[in-house]
Structure 1
């Protein structure tokens, strides 16, 4: 029984495909917390969303994210470094 050998072009293609290319590191944007809101608002009331919408009307690119550790909504602004 013979062992299979790769032709020169097959070996080169295999080596090229097996190469692990480094991915460029992207910097994480810094977040500024404008305000925190408790997650226990009454049903149908969205104070964090209202606050963020007011900031967006002012031209501030605010958005709402949930902080699971503190069980609160954060209104944040992201700025690239």
Structure 2
């Protein structure tokens, strides 16, 4: 798994920068998804690699 971006959880209301970034990457063929890192209170945009176990 690779972390492609980090975004603070306290963004402006109605703004989803992590989701927007992941969608942009998906449009370019990347398998990006958003997960929450509770320890740092950030959203991470990650990409899982095919050779990793689920």
Runs (5+) with no aligned partner, structure 2 = none
Matched, 1:54 2:24: yes
Matched, 1:75 2:45: yes
TM-score of the superposition, structure 1-length normalised?
Answer: 0.61
Pick 1 or 2: higher relative contact order, CA cutoff 8 A, min separation 6.
Answer: 2
Distance in 2 of aligned mates of 1:61 and 1:32: 11
The answer to which structure has the higher strand fraction is 2
Runs (5+) with no aligned partner, structure 1 = 1-30
Asked which structure has the greater CA Rg, the reply is 1
The answer to which structure has the higher helix fraction is 1
Q: In the alignment, which residue of structure 1 is the partner of 2:33? A: 63
TM-score of the superposition, structure 2-length normalised?
Answer: 0.91
**CA RMSD between the two structures:** 0.7
